[in-house]
Chain A
């Protein structure tokens, strides 16, 4: 059987999996949907929920649900999920595992390898964490490619004439901009810039703050301490943001949000697009600044750009399009689905790596400068931590550069090598990503030559080695996730932990042979409905007879819909039941 490599877009809010079949890229649907919300939760019975069901459960049980985990990747922290702490890698692994299962079901064969996309501006630590998440999920990450590049690849595959494009990728949690040259079947990234922590989530946050202020003013209540109310406010904010993409006003209505001094608090407020755009103006300005930095990096101006490609759900915000229009003088392109093109690009690259004939070849760059610190000068004065760049921003990947340094005093026995990522002339203002020491140097006068080699691989991961030139004494490291060192034993433990969480959902890959070999999982809507019903039943004992009657009626309707597999019909009774539960609990 041929090894199939899948392409995965592991997004902050949504994730997708795609594959190339008979020369065609296809985003694979799980339960009829190509988009899997990046939510993970644990249900009443301790079962794991991923995607739509987890997203729905978030409102009822925010404490048992995790969202936007991508924002925490690469950080040494743990998130609580149903009382258990998890590393961000583990939560991401759960999402990857579901995507893997979706692909396996579609392909009818086990999948062990993937190309995963990461934001271009993802740091070394964030890339390592992503690779670890893949390993925990049982996926060998054969390549990580940058999201805007993947989008350009998906788009460029259909282009015959030479073009210069700007990819503006504003997702849920990250922003990237890349300048790309497409010519003769080569997608060549000329420059990349971005922000790791800027996206639609921040826009939501602005609306949430606005709503909280409104509640404070009208009802004198601080909703921050009420996790369920906050979950509803967050959903209302997101919905309002989406509405404002198409409408000038959004009406936000959340009844029985919480109880304050014995009386219920309702939220009712109208938000105009103008107010909303004023809230996010600073964010949009900083994306435009990044656009200019990227153009400068490519030694181009706005007039050299033939097309602007929009990627990521947040580019639906009308003012983003308006600002880009006034910058470039033409409408940005929207025909490639901004939610799916990244996964499609990953699949094209995966096919290329697995040896299939592909029409488009990719050449990418690093958005960061890497270097070391040495004794030197800063602003004309002696300074012991001068940053010495070795690999410059926007250098082509893979890249390998060597610099020579000398020992500072006679009989110096060791050198400390510190590796930084950043653009500042003062190394201490840049991010320290790793350090090591070369010991046992010859006892010679100052000026003993030490060569330092930095090599960036295609995944954007840095390999460092230092050598005493005279003796060949060498020390080398791969920059591991500098912040959260996931040793291989921990990785194995995490793998077992996540696998056991999946319980019987987990299938044995050896038994996979026939297409669709495991039990059809229920549609996410049905799973969500079941969890809401269970919740309702648990409240029966302490509710009034009329409420109970209403609930029993609704449960009857829902059960009938589940039996008839009427997903559409489910929505209304489930929403009504949810509302009653909120009311009863607040």
Chain B
């Protein structure tokens, strides 16, 4: 399965504006009226990486191979803490070090 970045054809470092632009271009080619499922896929990809806050939680909490049942099992029977893979951990560190981004994320969280 493709990651949201692959789906929207953007780099992980892309800005909010660039991601939005990429999303709109995808929507233009895949209007909801033509193929609803494809549109939903694109829209969900956009939602998961549209701003710093969502990108952070996407990086931390999305398990690339998870399907719904697995997620549900995890949610209902928390026997072990979710595994954090080394590259995720690194990203988490980087996110924590980037003060401006963190402020940004807090600001967004405060607004909503």
Contacts and interface: CB of A to CB of B under 8 A. Distances in A.
Interface stretch (B5-13, B26-34, B85-93, B96-104): B26-34
Given A184-B24, A398-B40, A363 B72 contact: no
A398 B111 contact: no
Contact of B24 (A188, A399, A451): A188
Contacts of B69: 469
A449 B73 CA distance: 10
Interface residues of A, number: 25
B40 A400 contact: yes
A519 B36 CA distance: 43
Interface residues on B, range: 20 to 34
A404 B28 contact: no
B72 A449 contact: yes
Contacts of A143: 33
A185 B28 contact: yes
A399 B15 CA distance: 26
Contact of A186 (B28, B75, B76, B112): B28
A342 interface: no
A181 to B, nearest CB: 9
A362 B33 contact: yes
Contacts of B39: 398
Contact of A449 (B24, B43, B76, B112): B76
B28 A352 contact: no
Given A184-B28, A361-B28, A458 B72 contact: no
B16 interface: no
B50 to A, nearest CB: 12
A361 B24 CA distance: 10
B31 A458 contact: no
A183 B26 CA distance: 13
A362 B30 CA distance: 11
Contacts of A449: 72, 76
A361 B31 contact: yes
Chain B CB within 10 A, most for which of A361, A400, A457: A361
B112 A458 contact: no
A361 B27 contact: yes
B32 A397 contact: yes
B112 A299 contact: yes
A457 B24 CA distance: 20
B72 A451 contact: yes
A388 to B, nearest CB: 15
Secondary structure of the A side of the interface?
strand
A451 B76 CA distance: 12
Contacts of B32: 362-363, 397-398, 458
A352 B76 contact: no
A349 B31 CA distance: 11
B107 to A, nearest CB: 12
Nearest to B75: A404
Interface string A347-385: 001001100000001110000000000000000000000
Given A363-B32, A398-B40, A458-B32, A183 B24 contact: yes
Contacts of A404: 72, 75-76
Contacts of B36: 398, 457-458
Contacts of B72: 404, 449, 451, 469
A187 B27 CA distance: 10
A458 B36 CA distance: 8
A496 interface: no
Interface in B37-89: 39-40, 43, 68-69, 72, 75-76
A458 B31 CA distance: 11
Nearest to A353: B33
Contacts of A361: 27-28, 31
Nearest to A185: B28
Chain A CB within 10 A, most for which of B24, B33, B76: B33
Interface in A16-74: none
A363 B68 CA distance: 26
A461 to B, nearest CB: 13
B60 to A, nearest CB: 22
A398 B76 CA distance: 28
Contact of A362 (B21, B31, B111): B31
Contacts of A183: 20-21, 24
Contact of B43 (A299, A352, A396, A469): A396
A186 B28 CA distance: 6
B58 to A, nearest CB: 18
Contacts of A400: 40
A340 to B, nearest CB: 22
A458 B24 CA distance: 18
A362 B24 CA distance: 11
A402 interface: yes
Given A404-B75, A449-B76, A458-B32, A363 B27 contact: yes
Contacts of B20: 183
Contacts of A184: 21, 24-25, 28
A469 B77 CA distance: 14
A404 B76 CA distance: 9
A563 to B, nearest CB: 50
A536 B21 CA distance: 67
A203 B31 CA distance: 39
Contacts of A402: 68
Nearest to A449: B76
14 contacts: A183-B20, A184-B21, A184-B24, A184-B25, A361-B27, A361-B31, A398-B39, A399-B40, A400-B40, A404-B72, A449-B72, A449-B76, A451-B72, A458-B36
Interface of B: 20-21, 24-25, 27-28, 31-33, 36, 39-40, 43, 68-69, 72, 75-76, 111-112
Closest 9 CB pairs of A and B: A361-B31, A184-B24, A186-B24, A398-B36, A185-B28, A186-B27, A361-B28, A353-B33, A396-B43
Given A185-B24, A299-B112, A404-B72, 7 more contacts: A183-B21, A363-B27, A397-B32, A402-B68, A404-B75, A457-B36, A469-B69
